[in-house]
Amino acid sequence: MKGRVLVIDDEKNITLVMQAMLERAGFETMVYNDSQSALQIIENEDLDVVITDLYMPGPSGMDVLNYCQSNSPRLPVVLITAYGTVEAAVSALKQGAFDFITKPFDQNELINVVQKAVDTHRQREKEPVGILQLSEKQHAQTSEGPNLFVSSIIGSSPPMQEVFKVISKIAASPSTVLISGESGTGKELVAFEIHRNSPRVKKPFVKINCAAIPATLIESELFGYERGAFTGAVTSKPGRFELANEGTLFLDEVAEMPLEMQVKLLRVLQEQEFERVGGINSINVDVRIIAATNRDLESEVKTGRFRDDLYYRLNVVPIRLPALRERKDDIDLLVKFFLQQFNVKLAKAVTSIEPIVLDALRDFPWPGNIRQLENVLERMVLMSDDSLLRVADLPEDIAQQANLVIPAAVSSTSESASFKEIVRKQTQHLERELIEKALEETNGNITRAAEKLGLSRKGLQLKMKELGLKRPID
């Protein structure tokens, strides 16, 4: 399965046509003609993208967008709009919609937009949350201007204090920023923090993941295209640079950008102008660029995979994010935050953690950084049966690193636990190990993993949901 798509449109014929097109392309598709009912699906289902009509009875497409931004901020929303209402769709893009398609829509355009949205969602799912929700008062204060620095990034360690210091110094400037750091360290959070504390805070913060966009589409994504520029271009569409005008454009995974696109990006950085694909008129923009990479760009330059002139243009203000193993003083704060978060998400009441378990978390090297810590704590909270996280709740690799022995099911279960409950726990533990191993051996391909386990694809998906295992990228 390429991804799970929810289509919302009050016109039944539109939803049936889109469902047929998407399912033929390999997407699992749900359709709703009642937008109010669809909101409940968004809350309860594991989706990759929502496609919604802009104007409908009941909650409108903008209402759906606002709902997703409040309740599922990582979920991309694609708007359907009539040809004469493109301006409204562009306005929605500036407010956070992923993309839009116009009626009558082209099948190739629909599939391309949905595939990009699915890829982007799965990239976003890899990123750690690691950010505190701002109160309305805090947000209003910060929006008044760049002088009041309110950080929403969790961390008080010396390495993070240095990061905060740099952000506070450079946020108000228009200078280009290059954020480097290992995968899972929170580069997007830092980029948004710079924008949020800049004079551009009331203008768009537009992001694009260069690794999630096919090389053949990245130019039209950045610069937009004119009607008729290529097959499927049934209307003109602005690119990310236009949408970010007077605001900030965040180029994530910039090292993945093809060399031919690096030349065009360099020109925009130098001249602040570009042409849409298929266009002849130059478009001037005022955009602040923040780029991020988990690679060593200096090494990429030496090997010829990244242009040296573009590197120097991007590297005006470098910010290096420390790996989690370099900021272990922050682990207690992060653990506290994630426990609160997962108690709400999973309807649990875990309020404390054994000191020996916290020591094990502090001492673990965390190659996946905050993202890995987040996933580990979600699993521990999910599988815990009381308000205290114990050694028995630790993943085996973390326990082994700390030279801890995970108690057997009998010793880690209360004396009053039934034999049936003990067997259930042991069975779940074994099922989890077998599924994780099968997914690892098949590079996350659910169909092949199901075959190895002797299950149907649907059976494996249901079992993964039961065990709280996240669906990998197919």
Of the CA atoms within 13 Å of residue 406, those in its CB half-sphere come to 15
Residues 159 and 161: their CA atoms lie apart, in Å, by 5
Check residue 37 and give its pLDDT. Answer: 87
Check residue 54 and give its pLDDT. Answer: 87
- Identify whether residues 367 and 273 lie together within a single domain: no
Which domain range does residue 122 map to? 4-126
- Identify whether residues 61 and 96 lie together within a single domain: yes
Check residue 421 and give its pLDDT. Answer: 63
Q: CA angle at residue 409 from 377 to 450, to 5 degrees?
A: 65
In this predicted model, what pLDDT tens digit does every residue of 73-123 receive, in sequence order?
889 999 988 755 667 777 788 778 888 888 777 788 889 889 888 888 887
Check residue 31 and give its pLDDT. Answer: 93
Residues 334 and 252: their CA atoms lie apart, in Å, by 24
Check residue 279 and give its pLDDT. Answer: 87
Token reading at 15: 């939803």
Residue 13 falls within a domain, yes or no? yes
The number of distinct structural domains making up the chain is: 3
Contacts of 194 (CB under 8 A, 6+ apart): 167, 170, 171, 177, 248, 290
Check residue 83 and give its pLDDT. Answer: 56
Q: For the residues 354-379, what does the mean pLDDT come to?
A: 91
User: What is the separation of C-alpha 230 from the centre of its chain, rounded to a whole number of angstroms?
Assistant: 29
Residue 160 falls within a domain, yes or no? yes
Residues 254 and 90: their CA atoms lie apart, in Å, by 25
Q: End of a domain among 67, 95, 126? A: 126
Q: End of a domain among 106, 126, 146? A: 126
193 pLDDT higher than 70: yes
Residue 474 falls within a domain, yes or no? no
137 pLDDT higher than 70: no
CATH number (domain holding residue 333): 1.10.8.60
Residue type, 293: T
Check residue 173 and give its pLDDT. Answer: 93
Residues 204 and 244: their CA atoms lie apart, in Å, by 5
- Identify whether residues 345 and 449 lie together within a single domain: yes
Q: How confident is the model at residue 411 (pLDDT cuts 50, 70, 90)?
A: very low
Residues 53 and 32: their CA atoms lie apart, in Å, by 11
Q: End of a domain among 77, 108, 126? A: 126
- Identify whether residues 244 and 292 lie together within a single domain: yes
Contacts of 294 (CB under 8 A, 6+ apart): 180, 181, 182, 183, 187, 253, 255
- Identify whether residues 305 and 341 lie together within a single domain: no
User: What is the separation of C-alpha 141 from the centre of its chain, rounded to a whole number of angstroms?
Assistant: 27
Check residue 136 and give its pLDDT. Answer: 32
- Identify whether residues 231 and 267 lie together within a single domain: yes
Residue 281 falls within a domain, yes or no? yes
- Residue that wins the pLDDT comparison between 103 and 473: 103
- Identify whether residues 106 and 192 lie together within a single domain: no
> Which percentage of the chain shows pLDDT scores above 70?
87
Contact 402, 383 (CB under 8 A): no
- Residue that wins the pLDDT comparison between 459 and 284: 284
User: What interhelical angle do 457-467 and 419-441 show, nearest 10?
Assistant: 120
CB atoms within 10 A of CB 190: 24
- Identify whether residues 230 and 316 lie together within a single domain: yes
- Identify whether residues 185 and 233 lie together within a single domain: yes
3 pLDDT higher than 60: yes
**If you search the block for the tokens 């704060």, which residue do you land on?**
333
Check residue 215 and give its pLDDT. Answer: 84
188 pLDDT higher than 70: yes
Q: Which helix or strand (DSSP H or E) is residue 29 part of?
A: strand 28-32
254 pLDDT higher than 90: yes
CB atoms within 10 A of CB 290: 27
414 pLDDT higher than 50: no
Q: For the residues 345-373, what does the mean pLDDT come to?
A: 90
**If you search the block for the tokens 């599922």, which residue do you land on?**
72
CATH number (domain holding residue 47): 3.40.50.2300
Check residue 412 and give its pLDDT. Answer: 43
Residue 473 falls within a domain, yes or no? no
pTM of the model: 0.65
Contact 283, 242 (CB under 8 A): yes
Q: How confident is the model at residue 129 (pLDDT cuts 50, 70, 90)?
A: very low
Q: How confident is the model at residue 237 (pLDDT cuts 50, 70, 90)?
A: confident
Contact 246, 286 (CB under 8 A): yes
Check residue 419 and give its pLDDT. Answer: 58
H helices of 235-303, where? 240-243, 259-271, 297-302
Phi, psi dihedral angles at 178 (to 5 degrees): -120, 115
Secondary structure (DSSP) of 200-226:
TTTS-EEEEETTTS-TTTHHHHHHEE-
Q: How confident is the model at residue 422 (pLDDT cuts 50, 70, 90)?
A: low
Residues 258 and 107: their CA atoms lie apart, in Å, by 27
